[in-house]
Structure 1
C-alpha cells in the first residue's frame, strides 16, 4: 500500500458519490484536522517526509508518489519508460500524509506538484478542498479502456483510477489452518496461535476486513451502517492481535520474532517479497478489502496538458503490463496483461473487481473520527 518512507505499504463496498455529509466542515484548516484524524494514526511521525528523488529542470513534470518501495518500483518501471517515450524528465517526489498539506499550504499558482497520487481518503478530502483540476477526458483517451467497475464506482471527474491493491492474509505455512477468508481470523487455530498482526496507520482496512469476514451484509457493507460499527469493532477486538504494525517491516519482524503467525497486509507489498521469508506464505481471500489510487492534476500547475498526458500514459495497457513485472499491484486497464501468475489473484474484469470492498469515504468521513478513536483505544488497551 502507499506509505511514508518507513512504511512498506499503503495504503482504498464502493465509494458512493452521494450528497456531502451535513457535518462536513467547510474550511481548509478544519478539513486538515479531519484528515489528520483519519489518515495519520501511526503515520503521524511521517509528516514533512517528502524527498526529492531526481533533480530536474523547470520544465520537468513534478509527480508525487507514495514513499517506500512503491516509489522504488515506480522509478524502476515507470520513470525510464516515460522519459524515453516523451523525451521529457520526471521529477518524482516521495510523500505520504504530507501530500495534501503541501498542496494546501503552497502559494496560489505555485503548487509543489503537477500530478499527485491519491487513494480513497486523499481523493475524497482533496476534492473537498478543491485541490485538483477536473480531468479533461479528451486528453485521456485511455479512459475508454478502464474496467467498468473502476470507472463507475467512484467519480473520475477529478482523478483517474490507475492502480491499487487488495488486502491479503499472510501466514505461516505450518499453521494448523490455511486462512482462506477474513472470518478465519476468528478460527480456534488462529486464536491458539502466537497471534495476528494488523495495520494501525490505516485503521479502516482491518475494520473492512473484519466486516467482510462477518458476512452479515454484502461485502463489508457493515462499514456503511453506523448502527453496525460496534459489531465490527467487537470483531476486531476478539482477534488475538499481538502486533500493531506501522510498516511492512514491523510485520516481517513480528514474524521473525515469533510474535505473530498471521497478518492482515497488502498484496502489493507481499506477493513479490514473501519468498524472502522462510516458512511464510499468503492467501488472497475471494472477497477482501483494498485500496485504489486515483491520479490527479494539481490545481495551479502550468503544465495541465502534460499532466493529463502523463496520467493517460499511466493508464496505457502496455505500461501497466510492464509495470506489473516490477510491482504486483492491481491495474485498471481491461487490456493489461499481468506478469507471471498475478492474474490468479488480481481482478481483470468488473465481476472480479467487485469482490474488493473499497472504503466509501463519502460515508466514512462523518464517522471517521469516532472510529479512529475507538481503534486507537483498542490498541492502547491491548
Structure 2
C-alpha cells in the first residue's frame, strides 16, 4: 500500500453493518453527496465467454493504488489479462481520491469499472452504495478462496484478492532483532535512533501496538473502546522519529540515520529492501495488515467484464505468477508463492488468523476520536 491520506475518509449518516444480516445495503444515495475524504475463472474457465465479454470497445477502467503497487500490477497482471482475453485495460492510479471520484461522478457514468479497496474504503463504499453486488456465478474462483478470507468480512459487494501484513524493518547491526510488536517498546528500541510509522493509515500502527500489548487475543484491544487509551499510550511511548506517508519516506529516514526500526508493509518491503544496504526485516508471528477487496463500481456498463476481471485476479495461476513480481499475500488456497514468500505469508486459514485485520464494523464509530488522538501524538512528538 503506497502513500495514504492524512485522515480517514468518512461519510455522514454512516451506519454500522452487521455481517449476520448478510450485508444488506442501505438505500442508494446520490453520487453527488461528497465523501469527506482525508483518510475469474482463469482463461480456461471462461473460455466460452471471453470474446463476448472482453474484445473490442472501450477499455476496462481499473482503479489501483498508486506507486510501486500500480507498476507491478501493470507489469504482472494487466498484460497477462489483455493477452488472454484480447482486451484493453486502462489503469487509473489513485489513493484517497478513489471514493470521492466515484461519489462525485454523474449517475450512470462512474470513473472506474473496477476498483480496489482496503478495509476502510470497502466499508465506506458499501455504506454509500457505490458497488454492485458480486454475482458469484460469474466468479467461479470464489470457490477457491481460503475459508477465513471468505468469512471474516462480508463479500457481497467485493471479493478478497490480495493484501499484506505489516513487517518490522530494522538495521542489521543493531545487535538486536525485533521480531514482535512488543519489541518496539523494548529498551533496545528506546535507546536506538528511533522508530518510523505510517501516518496516513493510523490504524495499522495502532493495531501493531495492540498486538504487541498482548492484553487481549490478537489486537482485540482495538475492538474494545475501554482499551483504546492504553493502545494510544503504547504508541505515544514509542520513540517515533519518522511519520511516513509513503515507502520512500521510510527508506529516506533510514538513509538519513533518523530511525533504526520501522513499521511498514510486507509488499513494499520484501522485494525492495535489498536495494538498501544494512537493512533487513522480520515478520512477526502475530501482526496486523490489510486485505484488498475488489469491487464492481455501480453504474458501469461493463459489469460482466468487470466480474470476469475480478475472477481472473482470483485465479491461482495468475496469483502464483503475480507473486513473482509482488510479495503480496493472496487469497486463493491453490496459489503457490514464489521463492520463500510462503515462509512469511499465509497459505491457509490458521495462518491468516495470525493477522489482525481492522474490523471497521466496530471501528467506524470511534475512528474520528482515534484519528484525532493519533494526530495529536504526531504533533507533540
TM-score by length of 1: 0.88
What's 1:355 paired with?
A: 354
What's 1:32 paired with?
A: 35
What pairs up with 1:234-253 in 2 under 5 angstroms? 234-253=233-252
The whole-number CA distance in structure 2 between the counterparts of 1:234 and 1:16 is 30
The whole-number CA distance in structure 1 between the counterparts of 2:262 and 2:20 is 34
* Distance apart, 1:60 and its partner CA: 1.1
What's 2:14 paired with?
A: none
- Is residue 2:273 matched to residue 1:274? yes
What pairs up with 1:287-298 in 2 under 5 angstroms? 287-298=286-297
- C-alpha RMSD of the superposition: 1.9
* Distance apart, 1:4 and its partner CA: 5.9
The whole-number CA distance in structure 2 between the counterparts of 1:264 and 1:108 is 40
Question: CA-to-partner distance for each residue in 1:165-215, whole Å, 9 max, x for gaps?
Answer: 000000001112101100000111100000000000000000000000000
Unaligned runs of 5+ in 2: 6-16, 24-28, 40-54
SS, match of residue 244 in structure 1: strand
Q: Which one is further off, 327-336 or 175-184?
A: 175-184
The whole-number CA distance in structure 2 between the counterparts of 1:28 and 1:80 is 32
SS, match of residue 32 in structure 1: coil
What's 1:10 paired with?
A: none
What's 1:177 paired with?
A: 176
What pairs up with 1:1-382 in 2 under 5 angstroms? 1-3=1-3, 17=19, 32-33=35-36, 35-36=37-38, 39=39, 58-382=57-381
The whole-number CA distance in structure 2 between the counterparts of 1:326 and 1:193 is 33
- Cα distance change of structure 1 residues 16 and 281 upon mapping to structure 2, 3 Å threshold: farther
What's 2:47 paired with?
A: none
* Distance apart, 1:343 and its partner CA: 0.2
* Distance apart, 1:28 and its partner CA: 7.3
The whole-number CA distance in structure 2 between the counterparts of 1:215 and 1:31 is 39
Question: CA-to-partner distance for each residue in 1:81-119, whole Å, 9 max, x for gaps?
Answer: 000000000011000011110111111111000000000
SS, match of residue 289 in structure 2: strand
* Distance apart, 1:237 and its partner CA: 0.5
SS, match of residue 77 in structure 1: helix
SS, match of residue 157 in structure 1: coil
SS, match of residue 70 in structure 1: helix
SS, match of residue 363 in structure 1: helix
* Distance apart, 1:16 and its partner CA: 6.6
Unaligned runs of 5+ in 1: 6-14, 21-25, 40-55
The whole-number CA distance in structure 1 between the counterparts of 2:158 and 2:359 is 16
